Structure 1
Amino acid sequence: MSRIVRRLLIALYRWKGWKLEGGRPACDKFLIVGAPHTSNWDFVFFIGATHELGIKPSFMGKHTLFEGPQRRFMLDMGGVPVVRHQRGGYVQSVIEAFAAVDELALVVAPEGTRSSNGEWRSGFYHMALGAGVPIVPAWVNNETMRGGMGEPIMPTGDYRADLAKLAAFYRERMPDCARFEVLEKTTQTLDELEGNRTDD
């Protein structure tokens, strides 16, 4: 069933006619941040794009979704079971998942939902930092039917600086995207807050 679903999604990707930019990251383990997340078609794009680049993408899912008859389907589709109520929650589960394998490309939507105003949750950063893996920025523009991936960014522990690098990448790819304006302003706000703390 998972193979049938994947083939259907890849067929939809080709039918839509997206143009892909960028190449496969030169690393075996990395965290892909996909933005902006504005449409259900984003999922189809990322399945097709990763297939075209030779990447087997994985995603996080509540551990109860991996119980019973659907377990094999979820794992075959690239699911990574996470336990929310354990210490560290999603972040610790992802760190352990990266440590347990030699290859893993985990896709995360840092905005959380399609209704986001452009503010990012910081969980993705703590996952990458804790696992010691690079962050690969991925984007899709459903109006121009273009999308792709950028160069891996290794988290340094300086969230403000690393988020600014990501914001610069996305602003360059989609300068008119209101969500990425919010992302850029978030980094500026963090700079101001840090500056105030330093002055004190």
Structure 2
Amino acid sequence: MFYGVLHRIVPPVAKVLWRPTVEGVHHVPRTGGVILASNHLSFADSVVIPVVAPRKVVFLAKSDYFTTPGLKGRAMRAWFEGLGMLPVDRDDSRAAIASLDTALQVLGRGEAFGIYPEGTRSRDGQLYRGRTGVAHLALTAGVPIVPVGLHGTDQLQPVGSNVPRLARVTVRFGAPIDVAGEYDGVPPGRARRELTDRVMTAIQQLSGQEEAGVYNERSLGV
């Protein structure tokens, strides 16, 4: 219910304010399970992508956003649920593993799941090495991955800012990476690494970021 109400209001208003440039939206399948794998520059990324995507995209969000007490907490929970987000305790490694199971359930229902392979926001604008959770999900669920390149969202809501600003944002959707039959007979660990590297190369080409060549600080990959 919340999603239907917010999605009729937020995207039109956001598009008027942000005037995002959107490229390659035709690459996003309109039906069936699919992973949208993006670079991560800002907290606002998980709002920007669902605003411009042609279908509902489910992201994971910190469980704190769903458990804050009082009126403010209820409003926050309604907001995040309305955006299609699901709670995850990102400071608990066991919960992080469980979040992959949650993602598989989303994909199993034929929905779109959004993920940031870097694991957390880039604070210096570089693109960090991808964690293999994205490949695990794609290979397990047998769904394609659509790479996404974001530009300008770090100006829309810089790290440390609680209020979005006016900024020009560009979202580029790349051609789907289909995993069906691509890694048959390849050892699982190698398959996950190779697929993840393919995804990160596609994201870099879309975002134009300089590659850091190392992992970012956090390690959850969701």
Corresponding residue number in structure 1 for 2:218: none
In 2, Cα distance between the equivalents of 1:125 and 1:98? 13
Q: 2:117 aligns with which of 91, 99, 110?
A: 110
RMSD: 3.4
Q: SS of 2:60's equivalent? A: strand
Q: 1:47 aligns with which of 42, 47, 50?
A: 50
Q: SS of 1:20's equivalent? A: strand
Distance 1:96 1:40, change over 3 A: closer
The TM-score normalised by the length of structure 1 is: 0.68
1:77 maps onto 2:70 in alignment? no
Distance 1:8 1:77, change over 3 A: closer
In 2, Cα distance between the equivalents of 1:14 and 1:87? 36
Q: Is the 8 A contact 1:14 1:48 kept in 2?
A: no
Q: Which amino acid aligns with 2:140?
A: G
1:38 maps onto 2:41 in alignment? yes
Q: Is the 8 A contact 1:138 1:148 kept in 2?
A: yes
1:97 maps onto 2:106 in alignment? yes
Alignment of 1:1-200 (within 5 A): 2-3=3-4, 5-6=6-7, 7-22=9-24, 23-26=26-29, 27-35=31-39, 37-50=40-53, 53=54, 55-61=55-61, 65=66, 75-80=81-86, 85=94, 88-99=97-108, 101=109, 103-115=110-122, 118-142=128-152, 145-155=169-179, 156=183, 157=188, 158-175=191-208, 177-178=209-210, 181-182=211-212, 185=213
In 1, Cα distance between the equivalents of 2:121 and 2:62? 19
> Larger relative contact order (C-alpha < 8 A, sep ≥ 6)?
2
Offset from partner CA, 1:30-54 (integer Å, 9 cap, x none): 111111x11233233212211xx2x
Q: SS of 2:102's equivalent? A: helix
In 1, Cα distance between the equivalents of 2:130 and 2:96? 22
CA drift of 1:14 comes to 3.1
The structure with the greater share of residues assigned to helix is 1
Q: SS of 1:121's equivalent? A: coil
Distance 1:44 1:86, change over 3 A: closer
Q: Which amino acid aligns with 2:107?
A: F
Q: Is the 8 A contact 1:108 1:124 kept in 2?
A: yes
Pairs aligned (count): 175
Q: SS of 2:146's equivalent? A: strand
The TM-score normalised by the length of structure 2 is: 0.62
Identical amino acids, percent of aligned pairs: 21
